[in-house]
Chain A
Amino acid sequence: SQTIHQWPATLVQPVGSPLSLECTVEGTSNPNLYWYRQAAGRGLQLLFYSVGIGQISSEVPQNLSASRPQDRQFILSSKKLLLSDSGFYLCAWRQGRGDYGYTFGSGTRLTVV
């Protein structure tokens, strides 16, 4: 069966520090991968998606970047965090065809102080 792992679960980082959040998927190949953010009191905002290794599409201009170095690995990064980067970050995957729903990871609560 397919599983998705996301870590760390919580993170407190000072303003200006770098960020690296990792997401891996098991039990599938060539998944579509997504990074979402839920800011306090707001809905889920799509940040990046990837249809294959090295292929990254950005939905919103921002202080973050994403990379997909391996088929089942998706990384969210920042060189210098801002206070506004605080939020709940979710990784998700889906198969390329057929099922249109996503499976989400358990999320990372990022607090920038």
Chain B
Amino acid sequence: DQQVKQNSPSLSVQEGRISILNCDYTNSMFDYFLWYKKYPAEGPTFLISISSIKDKNEDGRFTVFLNKSAKHLSLHIVPSQPGDSAVYFCAASKGNSGSARQLTFGSGTQLTVLP
């Protein structure tokens, strides 16, 4: 049962244009969402997050949108740069009493920004 889904395994975008990465989730108990960026042979690094009480969070070129009714979030990168080429993971979190808050990850989307 995949609770966090990234249906596009890959995305190619021209440099300077907008990159839109999508993520869907099924568990309505998720209340915090994150995006991570991963280069080959490295650990993922945190990019941006959003709480379920918000519908938008912006940080420089990166904006995350959350649509709770559709259980959908997206990451917008504007303008896209070649250095943005990486695998992007969507992750979701929910509170668990008596245990560590865990992140559930999607399968990732490989973004390639073409010069």
Q: Which residues of A contact B (CB under 8 A)?
A: 6, 9, 32, 34, 36, 42-46, 49-51, 57, 59, 88, 90, 92, 94, 96, 100-107, 109
Let me know if A44 and B99 touch, CB within 8 A.
no
Let me know if B49 and A101 touch, CB within 8 A.
yes
Let me know if A100 and B93 touch, CB within 8 A.
yes
Q: Nearest CB to that of B92 among chain A residues?
A: A100
Q: Nearest CB to that of A9 among chain B residues?
A: B41
From B54-62, B63-71, B76-84, B100-108, the one touching the partner chain is B100-108
Given known pairs A51-B100, A101-B49, the reply for A44 and B32 (CB within 8 Å) is: no
Q: Number of B residues whose C-beta is below 8 Å from A?
A: 23
Q: Nearest CB to that of B6 among chain A residues?
A: A43
8 A-B residue contacts at CB 8 Å?
Answer: A32-B101, A42-B107, A45-B105, A51-B99, A57-B99, A101-B49, A102-B46, A106-B41
